[in-house]
Amino acid sequence: MKIELNENKIFFNNGQSIQEIHPFWLRERVDGDEYLDKGTQQRLFDPSTMTGEILIKKAEIKNGFLEVNFNDGVNSKLDISKLETEFSNKDTVIKSIPKKKWDSALKNVKNFEFKKNFYESKEMYDLLTSFYEYGFVIVKNVPTENNYIVEFANSIGSVRRTNFGEHFNVKSKSNPNDLAYTTLPLSPHTDNPYRNPVPCIQILHCIENEVSGGYSTLVDGYTVSEKLKIEDPEAYKVLTEVKVRFRFIDKDVVLEDWSELIHLDDEKNFKQVRFSPRLDYVPILKKDKLDLFYKSRKKLSDLYNSKKNRIEFRLSPKDLILMDNHRILHGRTKFDPNEGNRFLQGCYIDFDSTEGKLRHLKRKFKI
Ligand SMILES: [Fe+2]
């Protein structure tokens, strides 16, 4: 990629094509002290209110800088390497971390050890990178006193409070408003598909675990949906098109949201899965379309519930797991409460927390 000049026009050459850069695009990026606050990197002028055509009177390239005189009297020196980063038009931090597909054969995923000054450490950078690769990460030895999970969450970003509270306690109780608060097995699901937006990341922290059952299970929704795309394109297609209704009701609130079970982005790539068959209702559609939908959902469910696709492990006290609730399905095996206590605490954070922290640590460690 490089910048080229030709008679006061500035061009961007990416090796395959050459295109002129709009003068206003450059004018918006002037960064002298009068135009940009150095601390916040926020503009001190409002380009949306500017009138009149912006033209380039003179342009030169010198020592990695593009020096431009605009026709409105503003002169600026723009760092060419910064401009080039913008040409790639990509998120250079999060999207550059490739997702790794995994199933029951997954081995040797690194666990992280909690320690002093953890949140600002290189270790935290590695942890977040691993989180974006696999969709989950386990941290050992996290303090359990005084709802420490909330401090943990707030040290990465901010807790996403819901009607279950700032954090919630997962233990069996009488009159539960969710099956999580029973001793029943929980098949793989994503949390809170009825919220808009769906909480991005679930944090679960094991406080006590005295039972022999109650294993935690995880399935990679990304791997499974990519597998379905290859094995049964028709099923994949209908599950990426039909929006179903998810609803949660208790005495205080009615939460409802509609989504495809496999949600794709604008480029038709994987974006999010929601799966919680206790809560989903498909709208009335033509009978043959529903036929296809039900067969396809069954196929997806079989894949999610297959031992081939899931990992299973026992959480020990002080273990904390971070999982991408838009990618990973979680569940647990049943347990016998007569054997002892099983007590987990949970809370949610959103992607802005982990993304913001990761970009900050990348900047801090100049990675
Ligand atoms: Fe859950």
Confidence of residue 87 (pLDDT cuts 50, 70, 90): confident
Please give the share of the chain, as a percent, with pLDDT higher than 70. Answer: 98
Question: Do 345 and 167 meet the contact criterion of CB atoms below 8 Å apart?
Answer: yes
pLDDT over 70 (residue 174): no
CA of 220 from ligand 1 middle (Å) equals 15
Which are the contacts of 30, defined by CB distance < 8 A and separation ≥ 6?
36, 70, 74, 76, 78
Instruction: Write out pLDDT tens, residues 117-131.
Output: 999 999 999 999 999
Instruction: Write out pLDDT tens, residues 175-212.
Output: 667 777 777 889 999 999 999 999 999 999 999 999 99
Q: How far apart are CA 92 and CA 67, in angstroms?
A: 26
**pTM score, whole prediction:** 0.90
Q: What burial letters (b/e) apply to 190-214, b meaning 16+ CB within 10 Å?
A: bbbbbbeebbbbbbbbbbebebeeb
Q: For residue 131, count other CB atoms closer than 10 A to its CB.
A: 19
CA of 117 from ligand 1 middle (Å) equals 30
Chain centroid to Cα 259, Å, comes to 17
Instruction: Write out pLDDT tens, residues 289-303.
Output: 999 999 999 999 999
Average confidence score pLDDT of the chain: 94
CA of 10 from ligand 1 middle (Å) equals 54
- Cα dihedral 80, 83, 89, 91, rounded to 10, equals 90
CA of 234 from ligand 1 middle (Å) equals 29
Provide the pLDDT for residue 289.
Answer: 97
CA of 61 from ligand 1 middle (Å) equals 56
CA of 170 from ligand 1 middle (Å) equals 9
CA of 193 from ligand 1 middle (Å) equals 10
CA of 331 from ligand 1 middle (Å) equals 7
pLDDT over 80 (residue 365): yes
pLDDT over 90 (residue 90): no
Instruction: Write out pLDDT tens, residues 317-353.
Output: 999 999 999 999 999 998 888 888 899 999 999 999 9
Q: Please tell me whether residue 103 adopts helix, strand or coil conformation.
A: coil
Question: Do 322 and 201 meet the contact criterion of CB atoms below 8 Å apart?
Answer: yes
Provide the pLDDT for residue 173.
Answer: 63
CA of 334 from ligand 1 middle (Å) equals 14
Provide the pLDDT for residue 338.
Answer: 84
CA of 180 from ligand 1 middle (Å) equals 6
Provide the pLDDT for residue 353.
Answer: 97
CA of 12 from ligand 1 middle (Å) equals 49
Which are the contacts of 179, defined by CB distance < 8 A and separation ≥ 6?
186, 278
Best CA proximity match to 21, nearest among 64, 63, 68, 62 = 68
Query: What is the mean predicted confidence (pLDDT) over 275-287?
Result: 95
CA of 179 from ligand 1 middle (Å) equals 9
CA of 328 from ligand 1 middle (Å) equals 11
Q: For residue 107, count other CB atoms closer than 10 A to its CB.
A: 7
Q: What burial letters (b/e) apply to 141-164, b meaning 16+ CB within 10 Å?
A: ebebeeebbbebbeebbebbebeb
If one compares 305 and 8, the residue with the highest pLDDT of the two is 305
Q: How far apart are CA 325 and CA 309, in angstroms?
A: 17
CA of 22 from ligand 1 middle (Å) equals 49
Query: What is the mean predicted confidence (pLDDT) over 20-33?
Result: 95
8-state DSSP, 122? H
For the chain, list the domains and their CATH numbers.
2-87 (3.30.2020.30), 112-221+304-364 (3.60.130.10)
CA of 186 from ligand 1 middle (Å) equals 8
Residue identified by tokens 């297609």 is 237
Instruction: Write out pLDDT tens, residues 44-63.
Output: 999 999 988 999 999 999 99
159-160 and 342-349 beta bridge pairing: antiparallel
CA end-to-end span of the chain: 21
CA of 357 from ligand 1 middle (Å) equals 25
Provide the pLDDT for residue 89.
Answer: 66
Q: List alpha helices for 135-279, DSSP H.
A: 148-156, 221-231, 233-239
Question: Do 301 and 307 meet the contact criterion of CB atoms below 8 Å apart?
Answer: no
